[in-house]
């Protein structure tokens, strides 16, 4: 059995609310690990609108999703949180009062006093390509994320998509693969111009085969791909040898395994107590877009407020015998010392 990582608090979701929760918990000497299904921090801000301006963060007239994420990461530096990216929480087991054993789809095991669900509208799930029978290959030779580049060394790789993820992994995996084919439905790419230029250089040098069309059929047995059929835009077909396929068709929001954690749900949202943002399960809290209560507004600033109140209750589970005195960062030399400003 995998040895459990022990932490005071495990935060599910590394979006703005999850990141700010690290700050509020840190002021109270509570340590946190964070798990996110995405390959980077920032949640919806980073994934869906990194360059989109946000105008309603108090005191900041305008900031991008990427900029907000960077500022939050800078703010929580003094508390050294640990991030576990590209992982999704699968099971939550109550082992104490409160204490939880939490396992991810990558096999990572945590033991924590407090669980904070800050998962936005749920987890981002990759969109499945519209190819008959693709499910049979998932997890063995069809992968929606790259956990370890070494797993793809020496392989015949087929990458499908035209956005940043498809182009980034085309460029990153090309040096270590045996062969690589990139398939996109049109000869027009949504990724960063510099990445598109580098990709076309690989094509020109013969290191990458670019096919304009769509995958229509997969061949192989027992979950192992051997080849794929592509319908090209000129209505001809091509057969591509491959033993690994990486489809990047974007992401969709799903509640995912949260639905199986024993929490009360209302329309796929988690009801909470507005004094503490605790759920029906003692020790499990929900902040941000995933929770619901009378008057709820789905705003980042609301999630920040919820994280602050959550921390005041969470600390009592982590340090049940400790008297917690509320302090202000502007006047408390103790808090300023924690932040490294005194």
pLDDT tens per residue, range 40-93:
898 877 766 666 788 999 999 999 888 999 999 999 999 999 999 989 899 999
Q: State the average pLDDT over residues 192-215.
A: 96
Quickly state the pLDDT bin for 239 (edges 50, 70, 90).
Answer: very high
Over residues 283-321, the pLDDT tens digits come to: 999 999 999 999 999 999 999 999 999 999 999 999 999
Could you give the C-alpha distances from 144 to 37, 47, 54, 126, 173, in angstroms and in order?
11, 15, 29, 6, 14
Q: Which residues contact 72 (CB under 8 A, 6 or more apart)?
A: 16, 19, 20, 23
Over residues 140-173, the pLDDT tens digits come to: 999 988 878 899 999 999 999 999 889 999 999 9
Over residues 252-276, the pLDDT tens digits come to: 666 667 878 889 999 888 999 999 9
pLDDT at 100: 96
pLDDT at 255: 67
pLDDT at 250: 78
**Among 110, 78, 58, which Cα is nearest to 335's?**
78
Residue 205: both structure tokens together:
């040098």
Quickly state the pLDDT bin for 123 (edges 50, 70, 90).
Answer: low
pLDDT at 60: 95
Q: What domains can you pick out in the chain, each with its CATH number?
A: 5-124+252-338 (3.50.50.60), 128-249 (3.50.50.60)
pLDDT at 96: 92
Q: State the average pLDDT over residues 90-106.
A: 93
What is the average pLDDT value for the chain, to the nearest integer? Answer: 92
Quickly state the pLDDT bin for 2 (edges 50, 70, 90).
Answer: confident
Give the E-state strand segments of the chain in sequence order. 5-12, 32-36, 53-54, 63-64, 82-85, 89-96, 99-104, 109-117, 123-126, 156-160, 179-184, 209-221, 224-232, 237-241, 244-247, 251-254, 270-271, 284-286, 291-292
pLDDT at 43: 85
Q: How many CB atoms lie within 10 A of CB 91?
A: 14
pLDDT at 203 over 70: yes
**Among 174, 169, 150, which Cα is nearest to 248's?**
169
Instruction: Count the alpha carbons within 13 Å of 241 in the hemisphere toward its beta carbon.
Output: 4
pLDDT at 44: 76
% pLDDT > 70, the chain? 95
pLDDT at 199 over 70: yes
CA 263, 301, 110, 115 dihedral sign is: negative
């Amino acid at each position: 059995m995998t040895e459990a990582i022990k932490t005071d608090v495990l935060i599910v979701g590394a979006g703005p609310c999850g990141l700010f929760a690290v700050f509020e918990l840190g002021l109270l000497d509570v340590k946190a690990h964070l798990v996110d299904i995405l390959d980077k921090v920032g949640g919806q801000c980073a994934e869906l609108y990194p360059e989109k301006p946000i105008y309603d963060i108090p005191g900041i007239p305008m900031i991008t999703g990427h900029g907000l994420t960077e500022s939050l990461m800078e703010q929580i530096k003094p508390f050294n949180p640990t991030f576990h990216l590209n992982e999704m929480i699968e099971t939550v087991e109550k082992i104490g009062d409160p204490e939880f054993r939490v396992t991810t789809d990558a096999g990572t095991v945590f033991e924590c006093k407090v669980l904070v669900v800050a998962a936005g509208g749920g987890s981002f799930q990759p969109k499945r390509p519209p190819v008959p029978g693709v499910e049979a290959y998932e997890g063995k030779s069809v992968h929606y994320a790259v956990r370890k580049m070494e797993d793809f060394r020496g392989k015949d790789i087929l990458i499908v998509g035209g956005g940043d993820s498809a182009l980034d992994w085309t460029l990153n995996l090309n040096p270590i693969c045996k062969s690589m084919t990139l398939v996109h439905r049109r000869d027009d790419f949504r990724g960063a111009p510099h990445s598109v230029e580098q990709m076309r250089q690989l094509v020109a040098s013969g290191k990458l085969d670019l096919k304009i069309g769509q995958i229509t059929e997969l061949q192989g047995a027992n979950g192992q791909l051997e080849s794929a059929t592509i319908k090209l835009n000129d209505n001809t077909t091509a057969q591509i040898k491959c033993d690994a396929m990486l489809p990047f068709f974007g992401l969709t929001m799903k509640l995912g395994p949260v639905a199986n954690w024993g929490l009360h749900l209302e329309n796929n949202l988690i009801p909470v107590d507005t004094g503490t943002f605790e759920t029906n399960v003692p020790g499990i809290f929900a902040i941000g877009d995933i929770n619901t209560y009378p008057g709820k507004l789905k705003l980042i600033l609301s999630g920040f407020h919820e994280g602050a109140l959550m921390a005041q209750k969470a600390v009592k589970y982590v340090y049940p015998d400790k008297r917690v005195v509320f302090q202000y960062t502007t006047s408390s030399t103790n808090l300023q010392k924690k932040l490294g400003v005194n």
